[in-house]
Structure 1
Amino acid sequence: MTTTRSSNKTTGVSSRVSVKPTRHAQLRKLLARKSGASIAQIRQAFGWQPHTARAAISAQRKSGCLIVRSDTDKGSVYRIVEESGSQ
């Protein structure tokens, strides 16, 4: 006799799946901070190379985010100032 375990009605346990935010969403959260994020901070958060971090910022721009770069003593800081379609 073959039984399937796809039904949780007998056990009464709900099968909730926790969804981990995507790297795209995590990067957007970093860039949306008031202080923004530098390439070094993005590299540390994701373990990326500098060119990968810059490419990910470019992908954010292509998805409609308005990202500004400002120069500070510690290097360039990238920040989302507004998102298109959020009006």
Structure 2
Amino acid sequence: ANKVRQSVGIEPELVVREGKPTDEIHKLIEDDQDIAILVLAAGAGKEGPGPLVSAVAGRGAAFPIPVTVVPQNLSDEEIDSLA
């Protein structure tokens, strides 16, 4: 969170909800029009990207905003070069 504040001047927001993660993320996006993109970190292990990334990918176009999945094995420099 501190890195985001320093590099782009945006204050990250922590939101805790109960329920099915993909449903709650979708509701949050609908409720908060300031959310413009969903960024998820994906695991790089043989277990796959992780349950949240898999569930979100399964919903496909169901999200009204772009969804970006960042692989775990990218360095900060590689991520910066994509931005």
Tell me the TM-score normalised to structure 2 length. Answer: 0.31
**Structure index of larger Rg:** 1
TM-score normalised by L of structure 1: 0.30
Higher helix share: 2
Q: Which is richer in strand? A: 1
